[in-house]
């Protein structure tokens, strides 16, 4: 950024940055022009607000994706363990814990975690 003394910044606008109602911070827009910048509307300042807030607002999306990935890993581990123990194919190894989870009103990832960790007896999961 050029030295503010040489470019003679005359206008400084600070705007809230965020998306979908989530406040992510503040964006400062500086200009040497005396004309007013569009505050809160379309234009360069709105573009900067959006671009600056994207990485901050996407942390929730990343967290959700990591949770889904971890759940999928547990399910795959449970499938492998069940297939190896029972000598069944992977499709059958998925249908057993899925049916167990449905009949016990539980999430498949929770059933898979309990089966992989041996933290709870899962009667009826294996044949």
The average confidence (pLDDT) of the chain is 73
What CATH fold (topology level) applies to the domain 60-117?
Arc Repressor Mutant, subunit A (1.10.10)
* Per-residue confidence (pLDDT) for residue 7, from 0 to 100: 57
Residue 43 in tokens:
């234009």
Domain boundaries along the sequence of the chain? 4-57, 60-117
User: pTM (2 decimals)?
Assistant: 0.54
Q: 74-91 burial, b if ≥16 CB within 10 A, otherwise e? A: bbeebbebbbeeeebeee
* Per-residue confidence (pLDDT) for residue 19, from 0 to 100: 59
Q: Dihedral sign, CA of 122, 124, 125, 127?
A: positive
């Amino acid at each position: 950024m050029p030295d503010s003394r040489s470019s003679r910044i005359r206008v400084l606008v600070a705007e809230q940055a965020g998306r979908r109602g989530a406040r992510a911070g503040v964006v400062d827009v500086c200009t040497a022009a005396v004309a007013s910048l569009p505050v809160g509307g379309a234009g360069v300042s709105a573009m900067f607000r959006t671009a600056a807030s994207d990485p901050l607002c996407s942390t929730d999306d990343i967290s959700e994706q990591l949770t889904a990935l971890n759940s999928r890993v547990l399910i795959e581990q449970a499938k492998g363990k069940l297939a190896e123990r029972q000598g069944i194919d992977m499709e059958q190894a998925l249908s057993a814990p899925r049916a167990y989870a449905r009949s016990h009103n539980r999430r498949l990832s929770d059933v898979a975690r309990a089966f992989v960790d041996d933290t709870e007896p899962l009667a009826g999961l294996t044949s």
